[in-house]
A and B are shown apart, each in its own frame.
Chain A
Amino acid sequence: MRRRLTRLTRRRTRLLAGVGAAVAVIVALLATGLGRDPSVIASPLVGHMAPNFTLAQLDGPPVTLFKLRGQIVVVNFWASWCTECQVEQAALDQMWQQFRDSGVVVIGVNFQDTAGAARSYVSTADVTYPVVEDTDSSTALAYGLRGVPETFVVNQSGRIVDHVIGPIDEATLVSEINAMLLASAR
């Protein structure tokens, strides 16, 4: 009787271990898919020259991208109705304050918005970097924009070196810019 019981227990243990192992494999496989966004494919623009634009500032003279050669330009597409943009705005502004004297420009490109809404957002949220209006969305089309926020980092020679979909991660962007500044200083 006891022998039968131990045999049963042994078989049960083996079966349970099998179930556990199978589940572990499934979970491990699915977990590899967690950290990524499958809809993001490496941006075809990275490594290419940034499309030029001349856009009117909300309050100020027009901005032309080509004229900013020699500086690092962070082009950030945003809209006042976009809550994700609010999330990253403070970080962008802080970065601008930190780097504006070291040859880094942040440009906010206002997308699918009204000038009134954009202006009131800029004043209430204390946006200090230049904000331009892409009234006919032609710049957004040229950059293959999928939505807002999206950020492109353009190096000193006018090439796109990074493309971020969704809110930026400040730490990553800061270290990236530091590396670029360091490389150009050498």
Chain B
Amino acid sequence: MSQLGTYLLLFALVVSCYGLLAAAVGAKTGRPALVESARRCAFGVLVTVAAANATMLAALLSNEFAIRYVADNSARETPVFFKALSLWAADSGSLLLWNLILAGYIAAVAVRFRRDRPPTFPYALSVLFAVQVFYLILINGPAQPFASLANPPADGRGPAPLLQNHPLMAVHPPFLYLGFIGFTVPFAFGIAALLAGQGLDQWVSLIRRWTLVVWCFLTVGLLLGALWSYSVLGWGGYWAWDPVENVALLPWLLSTAFLHSVMLQERRGMARLWNIALVIGAFSLMTFGTFLTRANVLSSVHAFAQTSVGPAYLAFLALALLAGFGLVAWRLPTLRTPASLTSAISREGAFVANNMLLLAAAAIILLGTTFPLVVEAVSGQQVTVGGPYFRSSVTPVFLLILLLAGTAPLLPWRATNRSRALRRLRVPATAAALVMIATAWAGVRQITVVAGFGLAALVFVTSGQEILGGLAIGRRGLRAGTVRALVRGRRRHAGLVVHLGLALVAAGITASYSLGQQAQVTLKTGQSTVFGGQVLRYQGLHTDQQPQRIVLTTTVSVTNSSGGTAGTLDPRMNLYPAATEPIGSPSIRRGIVWDLYASLISLQDDGGSATFRFYRNPGVNWLWFGGLVMALGGIAAAWPSRRPNSGGDQGAKAVRKRAAVEAGAP
């Protein structure tokens, strides 16, 4: 099996190299037959890499400990579900999945452009294959997931305990990978336009929908990561400003900026240089994030074990930056756009401000994340930058972003009729003011918290009002029901739905960061404590010997102050053979407003007494729900329009035109 996997990966590399050469030569000489053969290579690579993944999966499931990766990351007693997950539990295995997803994206591009191909397509295809070649070289060279052991052990080590503690591990990495790797497609088309020196406006329409899909994956991936952290790590929070969390947020911020500024280029022919720089930046940051995680440069819960892939990632990052920004410098004269802002208070002005703020947030986070590296390179001292820096410096920027999200949708393109904009702002502003007054009245004195709730209300009401307003106009004009009205302004409505989700997320983050409570208590069996208006009683310990671990489960009954039973909490501790310390599993009673969260810290006297940490977290579920709404809005915006063969924007325009014609007809 080890040999089969190795040969499959080698074959995939050969096919990719051919694809790269054929596409590049085809682009240069304009020979369509070569380009077509390169396009077909995409499917060959996909099938081969999929077969390599299947081989590893089979090896994991059949306890093939002669393969070192299997011996290191699986064991006989590991449940089948977690055996399968071990495919991406460590560095070299996750590179298999990484290659598979990249091959999938290239095949999707190959399918999408099977007939109508923009002139930049061959260039884009060669960039895509170049990236695939890099990742296949990594996996054939330094990573080698199929490396074998001379003396296969009788049993493997099993997955890292933290990774076999929750099923969320099944979905968080693949979603994040789908988001990360997806940036290769916009990057490839951007670079292709620069290489070809043409289509410098066309490429943004070609990849807007791709970017939206990638953005949705990344949003969901980040959310699932936060959810995993909240549900597994037992510290009561969901975002720790860990370096690897930060570097996943950076491409998200840049792609969010891009999805807004792309409208400037589509509608007004502005921001050509800006957009291409954003896409190259997002791809470079994605590579940078991968480098940080896998080269084990910074300390993080996500860091993979020491591997030899660091220098290769660094070289690839240098190449991406040099090629990307070098090409931008080369084509600079053609990237300048004549159009400029008519008025600062307009939709264009708002998009420019939005981009500045998102970039400022990204810069602050990047600075905080890389600061330890800079300090150590200069002075040799080890430092860490913690949550307080990020929270205090990023919060004002995020508040301004909310202010913009709550007002910009009311502004028209070009110049603004101020009195009209102010009239539309009346309801949202009143709602925001009321919420702020209510918050302050309830005793909250932190200005950022009051502002956070107020601005979340502003965004929510503005978005809601604009969606409802759009529907009402649609009904009056069309008399054909709301569905058509929704379709007519789908892009705008979908964007507003994303903003609705954003408002919920903002409210959830504000609430959970500022209004939560926590307490650490030690209870004897039968003893109780009052926390957050509820009586928590330690009922006792239950030990469960499972094949792969020993689980110590405590039972804590929850009684309302009125005396009614509200259920139980069962925080656990899991002892895994390969871990020195027990791994805790928190127990959470989720509610619409409040979560009651319990972590087992330690046990004394064989469970006769136990130390718990209890948290009462408000708004955490708004965050999950809001994130889901954002992703759904993104999917709605990316959904193909009725004419599948026209590019995203042309399609939307065609639908708009058709609707206008129908509206005029008797």
Binding site for B on A (CB under 8 A): 8, 11-12, 15-16, 18-20, 22-23, 26-27, 29-34, 37-39, 41, 79-83, 86, 112, 117, 120-121, 124-125, 137, 140-141, 145-147, 166
Interface contact A166-B306, CB-CB below 8 Å: yes
* In-complex Cβ contact of A15 among B153, B318, B332, B374 (8 A): B332
- Interface pick from B290-298, B341-349, B453-461, B473-481: B290-298
Q: How far is the CA of A11 from the CA of B332 in the complex (A)?
A: 10
Give residues 309-354 of B contacting A (CB, 8 Å).
Answer: 310-311, 314, 317-318, 321-322, 325-326, 328-330, 332-333
Q: In the assembled complex, how far is the CB of residue B138 from the closest CB belonging to chain A, in whole angstroms?
A: 15
* In-complex Cβ contact of B373 among A19, A33, A39, A146 (8 A): A33
Q: In the assembled complex, how far is the CB of residue B328 from the closest CB belonging to chain A, in whole angstroms?
A: 8
The answer, yes or no, to whether B131 is at the interface (CB within 8 Å) is no
Q: Which residues of B contact A11 (CB under 8 A)?
A: 332
Given A12-B330, A37-B296, A83-B157, 12 other A-B residues pairs in contact with their CB atoms under 8 A = A12-B329, A15-B329, A19-B322, A30-B291, A32-B376, A81-B578, A83-B68, A83-B72, A86-B149, A112-B580, A141-B580, A145-B580
Q: In the assembled complex, how far is the CB of residue A185 from the closest CB belonging to chain B, in whole angstroms?
A: 35
14 contacts between A and B (CB under 8 A): A15-B329, A15-B332, A16-B330, A19-B322, A19-B328, A20-B322, A23-B318, A27-B317, A30-B373, A33-B298, A33-B377, A34-B311, A81-B153, A83-B72
Q: How far is the CA of A82 from the CA of B68 in the complex (A)?
A: 10
Q: Which residues of A contact B158 (CB under 8 A)?
A: 81
Q: How far is the CA of A2 from the CA of B649 in the complex (A)?
A: 41
Q: Which residues of B contact A31 (CB under 8 A)?
A: 311, 314
Q: How far is the CA of A44 from the CA of B208 in the complex (A)?
A: 54
The answer, yes or no, to whether B5 is at the interface (CB within 8 Å) is no
Q: Which residues of A contact B72 (CB under 8 A)?
A: 83
* In-complex Cβ contact of A38 among B151, B291, B299 (8 A): B299
Interface contact B306-A34, CB-CB below 8 Å: no
Interface contact B149-A23, CB-CB below 8 Å: no
Interface contact B154-A120, CB-CB below 8 Å: yes
Q: In the assembled complex, how far is the CB of residue B485 from the closest CB belonging to chain A, in whole angstroms?
A: 48
Q: Which residues of B contact A121 (CB under 8 A)?
A: 153
Q: Which residues of B contact A120 (CB under 8 A)?
A: 154
Q: How far is the CA of A37 from the CA of B297 in the complex (A)?
A: 7
Q: Which residues of A contact B332 (CB under 8 A)?
A: 11-12, 15
Interface contact A117-B154, CB-CB below 8 Å: yes
Q: Which residues of A contact B154 (CB under 8 A)?
A: 80, 117, 120
The answer, yes or no, to whether B75 is at the interface (CB within 8 Å) is yes
Q: How far is the CA of A20 from the CA of B324 in the complex (A)?
A: 11
Interface contact A83-B373, CB-CB below 8 Å: no
Q: How far is the CA of A147 from the CA of B305 in the complex (A)?
A: 12
Interface contact A81-B321, CB-CB below 8 Å: no
Interface contact A146-B580, CB-CB below 8 Å: yes
Interface contact A140-B580, CB-CB below 8 Å: yes
Q: How far is the CA of A39 from the CA of B372 in the complex (A)?
A: 13
Q: Which residues of B contact A146 (CB under 8 A)?
A: 580
Give residues 85-140 of B contacting A (CB, 8 Å).
Answer: none
The answer, yes or no, to whether B156 is at the interface (CB within 8 Å) is yes
Interface contact B155-A81, CB-CB below 8 Å: yes
The answer, yes or no, to whether B632 is at the interface (CB within 8 Å) is no
- Smallest Cβ-Cβ distance to A81: which chain B residue: B157
Interface size class, chain B: 35 or more
Q: How far is the CA of A37 from the CA of B306 in the complex (A)?
A: 7
Please judge, given known A-B contacts A23-B322, A117-B155, A140-B580, whether A8 and B298 are in contact too, CB under 8 Å. no
Q: How far is the CA of A74 from the CA of B483 in the complex (A)?
A: 76
Interface contact B333-A8, CB-CB below 8 Å: yes
Q: In the assembled complex, how far is the CB of residue A167 from the closest CB belonging to chain B, in whole angstroms?
A: 10
The answer, yes or no, to whether B608 is at the interface (CB within 8 Å) is no
Q: In the assembled complex, how far is the CB of residue B477 from the closest CB belonging to chain A, in whole angstroms?
A: 51
Q: In the assembled complex, how far is the CB of residue A121 from the closest CB belonging to chain B, in whole angstroms?
A: 8
Q: Which residues of A contact B157 (CB under 8 A)?
A: 81-83
Please judge, given known A-B contacts A12-B332, A15-B329, whether A81 and B373 are in contact too, CB under 8 Å. no
Q: How far is the CA of A32 from the CA of B299 in the complex (A)?
A: 15
Q: How far is the CA of A131 from the CA of B333 in the complex (A)?
A: 72
Interface contact B374-A29, CB-CB below 8 Å: yes
Write out, one digit per residue, whether chain B residues 348-373 have a CB within 8 A of any chain A CB (1) or not (0): 00000000000000000000001001
The answer, yes or no, to whether B193 is at the interface (CB within 8 Å) is no
Please judge, given known A-B contacts A81-B153, A82-B157, whether A33 and B297 are in contact too, CB under 8 Å. yes
Q: Which residues of B contact A140 (CB under 8 A)?
A: 580
Q: How far is the CA of A30 from the CA of B506 in the complex (A)?
A: 34
Interface contact B306-A30, CB-CB below 8 Å: no
Q: How far is the CA of A16 from the CA of B314 in the complex (A)?
A: 20
Q: Which residues of B contact A145 (CB under 8 A)?
A: 580
* In-complex Cβ contact of B295 among A22, A29, A34 (8 A): A34
Q: Which residues of A contact B392 (CB under 8 A)?
A: none
Q: How far is the CA of A34 from the CA of B295 in the complex (A)?
A: 7
Q: Which residues of A contact B317 (CB under 8 A)?
A: 26-27, 30
Interface contact B329-A38, CB-CB below 8 Å: no
Q: Which residues of A contact B155 (CB under 8 A)?
A: 81, 117
Interface contact A38-B322, CB-CB below 8 Å: no
* In-complex Cβ contact of A83 among B153, B325, B329 (8 A): B153
Give residues 229-287 of B contacting A (CB, 8 Å).
Answer: none
Interface contact A112-B296, CB-CB below 8 Å: no
Interface contact B376-A39, CB-CB below 8 Å: no
Interface contact B151-A86, CB-CB below 8 Å: yes
The answer, yes or no, to whether B303 is at the interface (CB within 8 Å) is yes
- Smallest Cβ-Cβ distance to B299: which chain A residue: A38
Q: Closest 3 A-B residue pairs measured CB to CB?
A: A15-B329, A33-B297, A38-B299
Q: Which residues of B contact A18 (CB under 8 A)?
A: 329
Give residues 161-187 of B contacting A (CB, 8 Å).
Answer: none
- Smallest Cβ-Cβ distance to A34: which chain B residue: B310
Please judge, given known A-B contacts A19-B325, A83-B149, A124-B151, whether A39 and B303 are in contact too, CB under 8 Å. yes
Please judge, given known A-B contacts A39-B303, A83-B71, A83-B72, whether A33 and B376 are in contact too, CB under 8 Å. yes
Give residues 198-230 of B contacting A (CB, 8 Å).
Answer: none
Most buried by B among A20, A83, A141: A83
Q: Which residues of B contact A147 (CB under 8 A)?
A: 580
Q: How far is the CA of A86 from the CA of B65 in the complex (A)?
A: 14
Q: How far is the CA of A112 from the CA of B326 in the complex (A)?
A: 54
- Smallest Cβ-Cβ distance to A89: which chain B residue: B151
Q: In the assembled complex, how far is the CB of residue B276 from the closest CB belonging to chain A, in whole angstroms?
A: 14
Write out, one digit per residue, whether chain B residues 561-601 have a CB within 8 A of any chain A CB (1) or not (0): 00000000000000001101000000000000000000000
The answer, yes or no, to whether B546 is at the interface (CB within 8 Å) is no
Interface contact A38-B153, CB-CB below 8 Å: no
Interface contact B151-A23, CB-CB below 8 Å: no
Q: How far is the CA of A22 from the CA of B332 in the complex (A)?
A: 17
The answer, yes or no, to whether B419 is at the interface (CB within 8 Å) is no
Interface contact A16-B326, CB-CB below 8 Å: yes
Q: In the assembled complex, how far is the CB of residue A13 from the closest CB belonging to chain B, in whole angstroms?
A: 9
Q: Which residues of B contact A20 (CB under 8 A)?
A: 322, 326
Q: How far is the CA of A41 from the CA of B383 in the complex (A)?
A: 12
Please judge, given known A-B contacts A20-B322, A33-B377, whether A41 and B382 are in contact too, CB under 8 Å. yes
Q: In the assembled complex, how far is the CB of residue A138 from the closest CB belonging to chain B, in whole angstroms?
A: 11
Interface contact B578-A32, CB-CB below 8 Å: no
Q: How far is the CA of A159 from the CA of B333 in the complex (A)?
A: 68
Interface contact B578-A23, CB-CB below 8 Å: no
Q: Which residues of A contact B299 (CB under 8 A)?
A: 38-39
Q: In the assembled complex, how far is the CB of residue A16 from the closest CB belonging to chain B, in whole angstroms?
A: 5
* In-complex Cβ contact of B156 among A32, A81, A125 (8 A): A81
Please judge, given known A-B contacts A27-B314, A81-B155, A112-B577, whether A34 and B297 are in contact too, CB under 8 Å. yes
Q: How far is the CA of A30 from the CA of B382 in the complex (A)?
A: 15
